[in-house]
């Protein structure tokens, strides 16, 4: 009698949880690459906010799912995603968010490998020390500790967002229309969430920085969303040869002449000095400015040369002061 052993052909699945905010998501991109390299034969998923799911639409490996915490019912609600996590039977879950909702998802995942940013019994791997609002540690370094607790290496320099053809064409046309496709330019994000104006660097500082760039032959492109419209109008009128652009649903091509993007400045976690280094965005003249955050973070340099996809409406017209 011959016995045949059944061999499972189901591809293991891995879940990465990183829901918000946009700057935090950018900061975690290098760590996501490390996780992907650690699971080369698995099926990776990212669970994020609805506004950011499309950032992964053209990723060659990652599949994205959205969680909308404003909805109590439905597929994208917290309850709906808990049921989804249970059904997916993930082999590993990497909680890079570390809040109550993400811990709830981890708890119900039943994954054998559960990696988190906080020392909590629901995780199989985690840093030893808690991370609080009083912790003087950059969030990027905390994510390094989180991966190290699971035996993963620190990320290498650089990370990439994969833009689709429509995104590439939109940015290319805008650059051509504004005459900066072959020149050096600086991206400036002077706004922030409408509910968190305390994160904003003073506008006069952005004006001084833009004036210095202008004296160096570097044009300024002001980027942002609907909440940033007023501040961008104001700033663009005060510096000659600057542009104000509001990308609310399009992202800049990450492969589009990165050597021409000389500098990027902004507010909040999307404006980390750490992020500029890690996403290979060079500084001009070693200019790093901004108020120090209690965790050792700087509100002066943006974590990447892509403006990203924000969560509001269609792009506004371009404003160029002449």
SS3 (DSSP) at 41: coil
Residue 189 CA to residue 96 CA, distance in Å, equals 25
On whether the CB atoms of residues 223 and 259 are closer than 8 A, the answer is: no
On whether the CB atoms of residues 174 and 318 are closer than 8 A, the answer is: yes
Domain boundaries defined on the chain:
13-149, 169-321
Residue 143 CA to residue 130 CA, distance in Å, equals 13
The residues, any chain, with a CB within 8 Å of residue 30's CB and separated by 6 or more, are: 155, 156, 157, 158, 159, 278, 279
SS3 (DSSP) at 45: strand
User: HEC states along 209-237?
Assistant: HHHHHHHCCCEEEECCCHHHHHHHHHHHC
The larger pLDDT score, comparing residue 279 to residue 179, is at 179
pLDDT digits (tens, 9 = 90+) for 138-159: 999 999 999 999 999 999 888 8
Backbone angles phi, psi at 103, to 5 degrees: -65, -35
User: Is residue 311 exposed (0-12), middle (13-18) or buried (19+ Cβ within 10 Å)?
Assistant: middle
User: Is residue 176 exposed (0-12), middle (13-18) or buried (19+ Cβ within 10 Å)?
Assistant: exposed
Assigned architecture for domain 169-321: 3-Layer(aba) Sandwich (3.40)
CATH class belonging to 13-149? alpha beta
Peptide bond into 33 cis (omega under 30): no
pLDDT of amino acid 178: 80
Range from 9-18, 176-185, 214-223, 255-264 carrying the lowest mean pLDDT: 255-264
Q: Percentage of the chain surpassing pLDDT 90?
A: 41
pLDDT digits (tens, 9 = 90+) for 2-47: 665 555 568 999 999 999 888 899 999 999 999 999 999 999 999 9
On whether the CB atoms of residues 288 and 198 are closer than 8 A, the answer is: no
pLDDT of amino acid 310: 29
pLDDT of amino acid 171: 85
How many residues are given for the chain?
A: 322
- Residue among 267, 292, 122 nearest 188 (CA): 267
- Running DSSP on this structure, what letter comes out for residue 246? -
The residues, any chain, with a CB within 8 Å of residue 272's CB and separated by 6 or more, are: 23, 27, 138, 139, 140, 297, 298, 301, 302, 303
Q: Fold identical between 13-149 and 169-321? A: yes
pLDDT digits (tens, 9 = 90+) for 249-306: 343 333 334 445 555 556 654 444 333 333 333 333 223 333 333 333 333 333 333 3
Q: How many CB atoms lie within 10 A of CB 247?
A: 21
């Amino acid at each position: 009698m011959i016995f045949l052993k059944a061999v499972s052909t189901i591809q293991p699945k891995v879940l990465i949880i990183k829901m918000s905010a946009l700057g935090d998501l950018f900061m975690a991109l290098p760590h996501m690459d490390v996780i992907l390299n650690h699971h080369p034969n698995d099926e990776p998923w990212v669970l994020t906010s609805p506004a950011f799911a499309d950032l992964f639409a053209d990723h060659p490996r990652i599949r994205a799912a959205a969680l909308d915490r404003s909805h109590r019912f439905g597929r994208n609600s917290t309850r709906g995603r808990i049921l989804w996590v249970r059904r997916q039977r993930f082999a590993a879950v990497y909680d890079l968010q570390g809040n109550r909702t993400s811990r709830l998802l981890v708890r119900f995942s039943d994954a054998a490998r559960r990696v988190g940013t906080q020392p909590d019994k629901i995780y199989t791997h985690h840093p030893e020390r808690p991370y609080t609002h009083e912790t003087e540690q950059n969030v990027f370094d905390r994510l390094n500790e989180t991966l190290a607790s699971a035996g993963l290496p620190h990320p290498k320099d650089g990370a990439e967002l994969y833009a689709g053809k429509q995104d590439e064409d939109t940015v290319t046309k805008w650059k051509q229309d504004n005459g900066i496709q072959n020149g050096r330019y600086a991206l400036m994000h002077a706004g922030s969430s409408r509910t968190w104006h305390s994160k904003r660097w003073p506008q006069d500082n952005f004006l001084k920085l833009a004036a210095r760039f202008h004296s160096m032959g570097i044009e300024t492109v002001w980027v942002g969303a609907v909440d940033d419209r007023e501040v961008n109008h104001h700033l663009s009128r005060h510096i000659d040869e600057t542009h104000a652009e509001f990308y609310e649903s399009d992202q800049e091509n990450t492969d589009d002449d990165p050597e021409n993007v000389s500098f990027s400045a902004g507010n909040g976690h999307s404006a980390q000095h750490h992020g500029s280094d890690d996403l290979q965005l060079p500084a001009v003249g070693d200019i790093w400015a901004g108020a120090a955050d209690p965790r050792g973070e700087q509100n002066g340099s943006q974590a990447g040369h892509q403006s990203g996809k924000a969560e509001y409406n269609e792009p506004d017209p371009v404003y160029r002061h002449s």
